[in-house]
Chains A and B, each alone.
Chain A
Amino acid sequence: MSAPTLSTRKPSPAPRGHHRPAGRDSAREEFVRALRRNISAHGFLIGAVLCFSFFSWYPMVRGFFLAFQKTEDGRTTWAGWSNLSYVFNDPAFWQAWRNTLLFTVLALVLGFAVPFVIAVVLNELRHAQGYLRLLVYLPVMLPPVASVLLFKYFYDPGYGLFNRIFEFFHLPAQQWLQDPDTSMLSVVIAATWMNMGGATLIYLAALQGIPGELYEAAELDGAGLLRKIWHVTIPQTRLILSLLLLMQIIATMQVFTEPFLLTNGAGPEGSTTTVVYLIYQYAFNFNNYGSAAALGLVLLVVLAGFSAVYVRLSRSSED
């Protein structure tokens, strides 16, 4: 049996307004005592809470309301479902989702596999591992805008580095970012180069945590390199791989900076218009904050749904 809680305590039968109930007094005293006891903790916390309130929670709540509002001639009114209807009827909406999913798939193929392979190779190296780690991480330290502008130069069909290399090997010049068929792949290559350093280091840390005895035992059983990776490395790093996969999907579905800077956002024939770029376009080019917020809400629901499915799947696989 539990002790009576604050809510179940009966107040003293004093007349209303005469003096405060004893229960509320003691609760108040306890609250004040706790506040005094934890005053420094609250002091430290308040900055973070204010920051989160100002920059995260308030905009989220405001964004939710904006999705159902409309502003015309300075008057804001409730718009019902019209913003969502606008978004769903926009031909760019489906194109943006197709492009975003294409980016996500390509980014997973390249951005997930490449850092893992590099981490495995680095882990196998006996010499110069530190220098190579630094080299792999170096692009992460560059400001994203600088990296993107570098790639913009590499990709230029006229004087770009990549076409110069192709020319040297007598290969036909490519249009890279200028061709609707290759623009998204070009964006993914640049994004992978820019971001793989962090993932590689995380994989490397996970790989170095695998006990050497497991590899020795596998070798004694006659396992080759691929079988060691398949039967030892991947199972041992499964947790970190799953975590990074989820984070990567969430991050890639919100891609904005790379296409915005490499192809001015839309890209050739709208081939690099992503969902987040479309949100930006609604808000800052179309002055239509309602539809921007509505599309943000759609993206939130999709990502939340994906995360929920993922968590359920990973729990069931653990069981």
Chain B
Amino acid sequence: MRSAGFRRSRTRRTSAAALVTALALTALASCGTSSSNGEEDDSGSGSGSSDPSAPLDPKAEVTLSIDCMPPAAKAAELREWNEDIKAFGKIYPNVRINGKSTPGQCLEPPRFTAMLKGKSQPDVFYAYFTDLQQVLDNDGAEDISAYVTETSVPALKDIQPQVIDVARKDGKLYALPTSNYTMGLMINRKLFTQAGLDPNTPPSTWEEVRAASKKIAALGKGVAGFGEYSAGNNGGWHFAATQYGLGGDVVDASGKKAAFNDEKGKQVLQQLHDMRWEDNSMGQTQLLKWGDLQKRISTDKLGMFLAAPDDIAYMVQQLGAEYENFGLGPIPGGQGTLFGGNNYMIKKGSSPDRIKAAIAWLNFKNLSPGKGQFDWARTKKDQLPVGLPQPNFFTGRSKAADDAARAANATMPVENFKAFTDNPVQGKAEPPKAQEIYKILDVAMSGVLTNEDADIDKLLDTAEQQVNQVLANQ
């Protein structure tokens, strides 16, 4: 029989454990509270006006944390960033900007999701066009509709409506764009010439792509004619781009049902399967993701792949390729092209002064022709790329001014993109729950590229079922 002493000591131990647990949970609770409140709020020192239409109070001291600052490895971009902060500081001496840089891509979906969940995003944070719903689900961004006017963003009326619309939900505006793109067909001009193809006339249909791919692969030495992603969400992204090019869709008009399990969807997978297994023109190594095809085309091991224009900047700046080696054509099929891009949102809970300061900075840096990212003369001086057809979100007078400045300062042979710029294809927004859908479609893409006996109908059926479930869960 156990003694009373034993029971007493057990009771004491239990009490001690309860005390320690209570202390620990209290500590946890306090940690949670502080993190959910975000970073220090020093925007109220000047106690500016809460009227969104009123300009930023010059007496209000505001500190803004902003991500996607260029890392030290990108010395020229970082220098421009600092110059812009200095110039902005002359106009708004009361606003201090704390840039945050991340090595590699500014945004990696898993990291972004975790950041939103932990509410650790900076005051002004970078996001893809497709991230809006996720951000709102996590109550992560401020409604800036009332703050964004033609006074605070003078070029507002000249921004393409569809680029602004992707940042809207239920009539409320949550972001301002920084860049946009439409997909096209990137070609390696050197391999085209070697294969007896005309590099000034990139293929514009999938039949032409397949024929060109065979000719390029016939060069041997491990050269692939056409390359495609099938991992890291990129396979699904390109499935959507190809489907749009053929006039198909990924999600129906209601946004609640998958719409890719049709003849066009089958065509997308079948043509990839045939190029991979019948023509053997896509190389043996698959499960590729963003960065892999860029490396191959930069080292003359790949003839073509679907890409956005800014891939050229990456290939030249990071991989040491030459601008002259690349050309750009419209998306094969030409029925529609996927458009995407990125924007900046303002953290939920920010004070009116902080929102006004953030919009002032975003306008200065990203939305003013001739300034910030559109200061092409400076970009040329810093030996950074000028002449890419991206970003390309202005219309009207702003577009005319920007196009002229871009052409005057071009650092690359812009005639190589003539097929792309002279044959504009109607842009089509990415589907809702895009990253989730892309992840699911990765499996279908990897299926046809790694399994000669892949059952295309089954792959599409399974993907459709999963996508419907994801859409039903929004």
Chain A residues proximal to chain B, CB less than 8 Å = 2-6, 30-31, 34-35, 42, 45-46, 49-50, 53-54, 58, 71-75, 86, 89-92, 156-158, 175, 177-180, 263-270, 273, 280-281, 283-289, 291
Contacts A286-B439, A287-B137: A5 and B4 contacting too (C-beta < 8 A)? yes
Inter-subunit contact B462/A288 (CB<8 Å): no
B443 cross-chain contacts in A, Cβ below 8 A: 266, 269-270, 273
List B residues 266-308 near A (Cβ within 8 Å). Answer: 283-287, 289
**Given the complex of chains A and B, what is the CA–CA distance between A180 and B439 in angstroms?**
17
Inter-subunit contact B24/A268 (CB<8 Å): no
**Given the complex of chains A and B, what is the CA–CA distance between A72 and B473 in angstroms?**
10
B283 cross-chain contacts in A, Cβ below 8 A: 158
A75 cross-chain contacts in B, Cβ below 8 A: 139
**Is B168 interfacial (CB-CB < 8 Å)?**
no
Please pick, from A34, A50, A266, A287, the residue contacting B12 in the complex, using a CB distance under 8 A: A34
Shortest Cβ-Cβ A-B pairs, 10 listed: A74-B139, A268-B450, A284-B110, A53-B24, A264-B231, A269-B447, A3-B4, A157-B284, A270-B443, A286-B436
B153 cross-chain contacts in A, Cβ below 8 A: none
Contacts A30-B12, A45-B20, A268-B446: A156 and B285 contacting too (C-beta < 8 A)? yes
**Is B149 interfacial (CB-CB < 8 Å)?**
no
Instruction: Name which of A5, A42, A280 has the most chain B CB atoms within 10 A of its CB.
Output: A5
Inter-subunit contact B4/A283 (CB<8 Å): no
**Given the complex of chains A and B, what is the CA–CA distance between A144 and B287 in angstroms?**
21
A287 cross-chain contacts in B, Cβ below 8 A: 113, 116, 134, 137-138, 436
**Given the complex of chains A and B, what is the CA–CA distance between A90 and B139 in angstroms?**
27
**Is B469 interfacial (CB-CB < 8 Å)?**
yes
Interface residues on B, range: 35 or more
Inter-subunit contact A5/B8 (CB<8 Å): yes
B462 cross-chain contacts in A, Cβ below 8 A: 91
**Given the complex of chains A and B, what is the CA–CA distance between A49 and B13 in angstroms?**
14
Query: Residues 102-117 of chain B: 1 if any A CB is under 8 Å from the residue's CB, otherwise 0?
Result: 0000000110011011
Please pick, from B4, B140, B231, the residue contacting A4 in the complex, using a CB distance under 8 A: B4
**Given the complex of chains A and B, what is the CA–CA distance between A177 and B459 in angstroms?**
19
- Closest Cβ of chain A: how far from B136's Cβ, in Å? 6
Inter-subunit contact B7/A5 (CB<8 Å): yes
A175 cross-chain contacts in B, Cβ below 8 A: 284, 450
Inter-subunit contact B454/A285 (CB<8 Å): no
Query: Residues 440-474 of chain B: 1 if any A CB is under 8 Å from the residue's CB, otherwise 0?
Result: 00110011011100100001001001100110011
A90 cross-chain contacts in B, Cβ below 8 A: 466, 469
Please pick, from A6, A46, A49, A285, the residue contacting B113 in the complex, using a CB distance under 8 A: A285
Inter-subunit contact A177/B287 (CB<8 Å): yes
Query: Residues 416-439 of chain B: 1 if any A CB is under 8 Å from the residue's CB, otherwise 0?
Result: 000000000000000000011001
Closest A-chain residue to B437, C-beta based? A286
Please pick, from B137, B285, B447, the residue contacting A73 in the complex, using a CB distance under 8 A: B137
B136 cross-chain contacts in A, Cβ below 8 A: 73-74
**Given the complex of chains A and B, what is the CA–CA distance between A238 and B470 in angstroms?**
48
**Given the complex of chains A and B, what is the CA–CA distance between A54 and B30 in angstroms?**
12
- Closest Cβ of chain A: how far from B276's Cβ, in Å? 11
Please pick, from B24, B446, B447, B469, the residue contacting A54 in the complex, using a CB distance under 8 A: B24
Inter-subunit contact A179/B450 (CB<8 Å): yes
List B residues 93-148 near A (Cβ within 8 Å). Answer: 109-110, 113-114, 116-117, 134, 136-140
Majority SS at the chain B contact face: helix
B470 cross-chain contacts in A, Cβ below 8 A: 286
List B residues 355-394 near A (Cβ within 8 Å). Answer: none
Given contacts A2-B3, A54-B24, A175-B450, 17 further A-B contacts (CB under 8 A): A34-B12, A50-B24, A92-B466, A157-B285, A177-B287, A178-B287, A263-B287, A266-B231, A267-B446, A268-B450, A269-B454, A270-B447, A284-B109, A285-B113, A286-B435, A286-B439, A287-B113
- Closest Cβ of chain A: how far from B112's Cβ, in Å? 9
Please pick, from B110, B137, B439, the residue contacting A72 in the complex, using a CB distance under 8 A: B137
Inter-subunit contact A53/B21 (CB<8 Å): yes
* Sample of 5 A–B contacts (CB below 8 Å): A2-B1, A74-B136, A74-B137, A177-B287, A264-B289
**Given the complex of chains A and B, what is the CA–CA distance between A191 and B442 in angstroms?**
24
**Is B53 interfacial (CB-CB < 8 Å)?**
no
A49 cross-chain contacts in B, Cβ below 8 A: 20-21, 24
Please pick, from A31, A86, A273, A284, the residue contacting B114 in the complex, using a CB distance under 8 A: A284
A178 cross-chain contacts in B, Cβ below 8 A: 284-287, 450
Instruction: Name which of B116, B136, B285, B474 has the most chain A CB atoms within 10 A of its CB.
Output: B285
A6 cross-chain contacts in B, Cβ below 8 A: 4, 7-8, 11
**Is B44 interfacial (CB-CB < 8 Å)?**
no
Closest B-chain residue to A291, C-beta based? B473
Instruction: Name which of A4, A71, A91 has the most chain B CB atoms within 10 A of its CB.
Output: A91
**Is B63 interfacial (CB-CB < 8 Å)?**
no
- Closest Cβ of chain A: how far from B450's Cβ, in Å? 3
B205 cross-chain contacts in A, Cβ below 8 A: none
- Closest Cβ of chain A: how far from B332's Cβ, in Å? 25
A86 cross-chain contacts in B, Cβ below 8 A: 469, 473
**Is B90 interfacial (CB-CB < 8 Å)?**
no
**Is B37 interfacial (CB-CB < 8 Å)?**
no
Please pick, from A2, A72, A179, the residue contacting B451 in the complex, using a CB distance under 8 A: A179
**Given the complex of chains A and B, what is the CA–CA distance between A30 and B439 in angstroms?**
60
Contacts A90-B466, A267-B287, A285-B233: A58 and B138 contacting too (C-beta < 8 A)? no
- Closest Cβ of chain B: how far from A253's Cβ, in Å? 22
- Closest Cβ of chain A: how far from B464's Cβ, in Å? 10
Inter-subunit contact B287/A264 (CB<8 Å): yes
List B residues 198-222 near A (Cβ within 8 Å). Answer: 222
A3 cross-chain contacts in B, Cβ below 8 A: 3-5
B5 cross-chain contacts in A, Cβ below 8 A: 3
Inter-subunit contact B465/A91 (CB<8 Å): yes
**Given the complex of chains A and B, what is the CA–CA distance between A283 and B112 in angstroms?**
11
Please pick, from A2, A269, A280, the residue contacting B446 in the complex, using a CB distance under 8 A: A269
